[in-house]
């Protein structure tokens, strides 16, 4: 019984060690790359996917009422995630109040991925006012709370590959 157990253990341990490979008489055709290799290689969006994303982003931008000159948007199609990300940036000023808002969402599913709201209702310097909201929701991960527009920009770029085209009020906030 002990010998049988020893043979079984050696066979199991031997399964993990390299062994000589049996010669194959027919040539082996290359197969598709493994899932791990696929994940390590960037998957690029086609021109058609980029065009489709850009058109949908514009539709959503207009449908959500961002038609004035204080708002702008940019889009990015993430081919690996199959998501069209849209970032809307709005800066507004009324009286002594200035605000800077950023939203990142999926142009097709309308799912929100990030939001940043900074409001300066007084006459303070922009670095004296912390954002009211600064949160990023990476896909499949817990939400991340940030503390500045620079941190927000870095997180949005890291997780969604999208960044502001133009810096607005409060964007240099530390």
pLDDT tens track for 41-61: 557 888 888 889 999 988 988
Average model confidence (pLDDT) across the chain: 74
Domain boundaries, the chain: 47-160
CA distance 131 to 28: 59
Between 103 and 16, whose confidence is greater? 103
Between 15 and 126, whose confidence is greater? 126
What pTM did the predictor assign? 0.67
- Most confident option among 7-11, 76-80, 126-130, 142-146: 142-146
pLDDT tens string 78-124: 998 999 999 999 998 888 889 999 999 999 998 999 999 999 988 88
104, two tokens:
């990142």
Query: Within 13 Å of residue 51, how many CA atoms lie on the same side as its CB?
Result: 3
Question: Is it the case that residue 145 has pLDDT exceeding 90?
Answer: yes
- What is the predicted pLDDT for the residue at 23? 33
Point out which residues pair with 118 in neighbouring strands: 100
Mean predicted confidence (pLDDT) in 19-37:
36
161, two tokens:
């590959």
- What is the predicted pLDDT for the residue at 26? 37
Point out which residues pair with 130 in neighbouring strands: none
CA distance 90 to 107: 17
- What is the predicted pLDDT for the residue at 166? 45
């Amino acid at each position: 019984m002990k010998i049988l157990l020893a043979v079984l253990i050696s066979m199991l341990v031997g399964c993990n060690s390299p062994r000589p490979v049996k010669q194959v008489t027919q040539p082996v055709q290359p197969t598709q790359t493994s899932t791990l290799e696929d994940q390590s290689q960037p998957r690029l969006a086609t021109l058609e996917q980029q065009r489709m994303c850009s058109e949908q982003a514009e539709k959503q931008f207009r449908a959500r009422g961002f038609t004035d000159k204080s708002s702008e948007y940019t889009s990015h199609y993430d081919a690996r995630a199959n998501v069209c990300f849209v970032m809307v940036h709005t800066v507004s000023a009324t009286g002594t109040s200035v605000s800077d808002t950023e939203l990142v969402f999926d142009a097709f599913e309308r799912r929100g991925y990030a939001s940043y709201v900074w409001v300066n209702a007084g006459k303070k310097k922009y670095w004296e006012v912390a954002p009211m909201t600064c949160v990023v929701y990476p896909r499949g991960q817990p939400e991340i709370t940030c503390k500045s527009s620079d941190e927000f920009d870095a997180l949005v770029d890291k997780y969604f590959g999208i960044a502001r085209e133009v810096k607005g009020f409060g964007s240099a906030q530390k």
